[in-house]
Amino acid sequence: MLDGSSPLWVRHATMGAVNRPTSPPRLGLQPVRGGVDAAVLAPHATAVDLCLFDETGSPASEQRVPMDGPRHGVFTAHVPGAGAGLRYGFRAHGPWEPLHGLRYNPAKLLVDPYARGLVGELGYGPATYGHTVDSLLRGDACGPPDPRDSADQVPHGVVVDTAALDGPDPATNRPWTPWARTVVYEAHVVGLTRLASFVPAELRGTYAGLAHPQVVEHLLRLGVTAVELLPIHAATSEPLLVGRGLTNYWGYNTLGFFAPHAPYATAAARAGGPAAVLAEVRTMVHTLHEAGLEVVLDVVYNHTAEGGPAGQHLSWRGLDNALYYAYDCNVPAMYADVTGTGNALDFRRAEVVRLTLDSLRYWADVVGVDGFRFDLAVTLGRGVDGFTADHPTLVGAATDPSLHGLKLIAEPWDVGPGGWRTGEFGLPFAEWNDRFRDSVRSFWLADPARAAHGLPGHRVRELATRLAGSVDLFGAGNPPLVRGPEASVNYVTAHDGFTLADLAAYDHKHNEDNGEDNRDGASENKSWNHGVEGPVLPDSPAAEIAPLRRRSVRNLFATLVLSAGTPMIVAGDEMSRTQQGNNNAYCQDSPISWVDWDLAPWQSDMLATATHLLALRRDHPALRTERFYTGAPLASGLPDLAWYDPAGVLFDHARWHDPALRTFQMVRTAGSARDVVLVVFNGALDPQDVVLANTDGDPWLAVWDSVWEHPDDQRDVAAAGPGHLPGGAKVTMEPLSMRVYVTR
């Protein structure tokens, strides 16, 4: 019952709110002078109600405001007297015709796709489905609509006044790190600090914890320049996972493209509401910026949390199912699922492109992030005729003033027809290079495993192409060679797959904890357990393989950070983190996924090695390049890149095709500074004598060997000792090892 003490917006809502907005409509709810403007896109709806709730969110407090429209597909309203903190949702009226893609059910409260904040937990009962299901959530997706109200089962939107946010503006202190100096560190907000005893307990696993001084110190000491965060858009877990007692830990199941994921905030921020959560995110970004670290967000615009047609009825499906989702144009209407998640947003629609670009601008302008990694980016570039690099979404991201100069990284594939598109995105996009991943794993792991059984492996030309920046993939364009090797985001591991340590300890995936009978995850990993599956104890008869495993990990890491291109490291790999053989830990919010900071001595050695290798990359211009190599002489008289065989002879065409060759040398030179670096690779199972490349320059100084357990372990690398060696000197390379020499 209403009385004079009711909030002004409640009294106006009941008496009939002033429905015309005070300015041209912007989607979402915007605080304006005298109240709040509301706008929602629902072109096929016959009516939409704006549903307002008190601060408790109780369904009993719900007040429905009929919205004007649609005009150009948009319904609008104005709520006088309302402001920041207002809780709300929508109810959409219209035909229930699932066979034709129309699924209107006003019994279901819908989340605003433009909500800046969300409060409340998603339920998983029958009321969250638009069609009728039983207690086991079984039903006909094209059957009758479900009449149960869902207002207490879905999160509510909350109005956030971004113009009134306190604290420093993280968009004003961006580091603007050049691509050539960029080293990406992929991390999960929770997993990075959940077990970090040096972080106060109340901050562990939170945005604030990630920006803790000791975490920042670790990142700076390691030598990374950008933190790429797994999704922090508001997300939910799939009903099937919840039924197994698991959660979608990675967060690739978006419910809101503008709202930060509140569970990653501290308890104090969550208690303060969405504005406080957003403030914590902004403070995290600003703090990392102050330390010189960029923040890149992994963003999932290709699909939503609503799943397939039989999934939950939460937002886009209820507002305009036929507009937001890609269909096959048949009757009955079926989703064109090119993401493998049950649905794909339809980027043939200008409205979907607008949603994506509006979200990107928001995170750039308000949160101040430094770039985005686009999950399944090919979906974002699918038009009427399939993928095209000049799709409006990609052109919009490339030309939008708010995104100018930010780092845009594509995961260049999806699971639809013609979905593998590595190398086909244009400026200013960089791309994940899966060919780099596969060639490095093959050379150091899969090929030696085959050789141990007398089987042939790959030729070295594939690895050499990746070491040199993958011009075959990223050199195309008009004009050619414009993007340069920095467009290749090189990686050996990512959140999806084995960790670096597990690549050297497991031949097979071990995903039993995921509850899918080990059917999930990739079965082909190009890994090698070195003869024994899983961990080996120090007193085990198999303990003798442990040093070789550690050497393999060092080989993988060094090849990653010393190659031309932009290296990406997964959090914890610098300390040889294990996931116990799980190569699909998307549902493991547990120690399986969390970084363990309690290091054994050999893990501390690995951390020192990783730090040393990244310092070599930072300190030697020859290990960083903005242009593809040509082999032509530089001002110093030396070629920018040269390849030598074990005898110190320059490669010719035939040598590249020698299947028996597993040992070679790479010499890279930087400009007139005459900074020259020699990297020697021995991928054979036996020791190999190598005649060091003769560049007629200064003698070589060994600065790192993968045989060394610790970079301070400057053991002899030649009969002459670890001092300077002239070109033409003969050295012996241990099996499966690599070594770095410099001249400066």
Contact 712, 687 (CB under 8 A): no
Q: How many CB atoms are located within 10 Å of the residue 315 CB?
A: 26
Write down the pLDDT at residue 718: 41
Write down the pLDDT at residue 15: 36
Q: What is the DSSP string of 178-216?
A: -GGG--EEEE-HHHHHTT-TTS-GGGTTSHHHHT-HHHH
Structure tokens at 351: 């409205």
Q: Residue 375 catalytic?
A: yes
Distance CA 187, CA 638 (A): 39
Which regions in the chain score pLDDT beneath 70? 1-23, 672-673, 715-723, 744
- Cis amide prior to 479 (ω within 30 degrees): yes
Q: What is the DSSP string of 332-358?
A: S--B--SSSSS--B-TTSHHHHHHHHH
Q: How many CB atoms are located within 10 Å of the residue 24 CB?
A: 8
The contacts found for 264-269 with CB under 8 angstroms, 24 or more apart, are: 264/189, 264/190, 264/205, 264/206, 264/207, 264/232, 265/206, 265/207, 265/208, 266/202, 266/203, 266/206, 266/207, 266/208, 266/209, 267/202, 268/202, 269/207, 269/208
The CA-based dihedral angle spanning residues 316, 317, 322, 326, taken in that order and rounded to the nearest 10 degrees: 80
Contact 719, 732 (CB under 8 A): no
For residue 278, what are the CA distances in angstroms to 167, 199, 251, 678?
Answer: 11, 21, 18, 48
Q: Which of 186, 370, 411, 709 is catalytic?
A: 411
Q: Which of 112, 280, 375, 431 is catalytic?
A: 375
Write down the pLDDT at residue 732: 97
Contact 333, 136 (CB under 8 A): no
Cα 482 from chain centroid?
25
Distance CA 9, CA 438 (A): 59
98, 42, 545: which is closest to 327 by C-alpha?
Answer: 98
Cα 695 from chain centroid?
41
Structure tokens at 519: 């059917």
Contact 215, 614 (CB under 8 A): no
Indicate the pTM of the whole model.
0.96
Write down the pLDDT at residue 534: 96
- Looking at 563-637, list the stretches that DSSP marks H as alpha helix, in order from N- to C-terminal side: 601-619
- Looking at 447-566, list the stretches that DSSP marks H as alpha helix, in order from N- to C-terminal side: 447-451, 460-467, 471-474, 500-503, 546-562
The contacts found for 635-638 with CB under 8 angstroms, 24 or more apart, are: 635/671, 635/672, 636/669, 636/671, 636/672, 636/673, 636/674, 638/667, 638/669, 638/674, 638/676, 638/695, 638/697
